[in-house]
Amino acid sequence: MSNRADTAIAQCIAALGAAGATGIDQYEQRLRNNADEPEVLEDFLLEGRAALMFLRHRFKVGMQDKPDLRIELDGEVVYVEVKHFREKERDREDEREMRATQERLVVTGELLESEGAEAWQQIVDVAVNKAPQYASDAPNVLVVESSSPSLELMIGTAVHDYDKEVLKSDDDRLRRLSGIMLVQTDWITSRDGRNVDFYPTSEAATPVSAHMAAALSAIVTDMPCGKRGECG
């Protein structure tokens, strides 16, 4: 295990413990089991970052395996799956193009040609593929931790398309997903200055309450978090 990985794990566990998370021992073991796989470790560390985000907004949080988190606010329980979208090569190309020209509008975030699916479709695909992870008879939320500007402003479209997918499918597990939250990491913020957006799904078997939806929609992140997922 590298010193960087050991430090990141120790900082994350300390922060979670200080904030009152439960299930930390099992989570720490998962981190240490993957300490020599930088990208896998980064993904697991971002589960801790998501947990801290909720903890800092009055939620109780338990670290789990499947689903990743159990969050509770004022007696209402929601289960959370966390997915990380890394910065894409298209993002780097867009940035280089914007720096190279000052005279014309640069169209950014188009992923169909380079990756075979636009950003919102990639979110939908993840939400569908995670159906076996969602808890039954309870609300579930997918948190997308994004280091990619390509996903900016795409969450509403993704939820709309997911709802259409639910109506077409005979897989009742898709109805377990009650909402999707996009967390734009690092320097990325949305057009109104927020870096977190939550949209409830329309076809959930167990929707989040209006109180919970309002609490999730009110979340903003103000913690430092490095590009490799360090949380603190």
- Encoding tokens for residue 29? 């073991």
Rounded mean pLDDT, 125-142: 95
Higher pLDDT pick, 181 / 122: 181
Rounded mean pLDDT, 145-156: 69
DSSP 154: -
Mean pLDDT score across all residues of the chain: 82
Under a CB-based contact definition with an 8 Å cutoff, are residues 162 and 140 in contact? no
**Segments making up each domain of the chain, as ranges:** 3-217
Query: Cα–Cα distance between 12 and 139 in angstroms, integer?
Result: 27
Query: Cα–Cα distance between 37 and 16 in angstroms, integer?
Result: 22
- Encoding tokens for residue 103? 């005279």
Q: What is the pTM of this model?
A: 0.82
Classify residue 199 as exposed, middle or buried by CB count within 10 Å of its CB (0-12, 13-18, 19+). buried
- Which strand ranges, in their side-by-side order, compose the sheet holding 60-63? 60-63, 69-73, 76-85, 140-146, 177-184, 196-200
Which pLDDT band holds residue 178 (cuts at 50, 70, 90)? very high
DSSP 65: S
State what percent of residues in the chain have pLDDT above 70. 75
Q: What pLDDT does residue 119 have?
A: 79
State what percent of residues in the chain have pLDDT above 90. 59
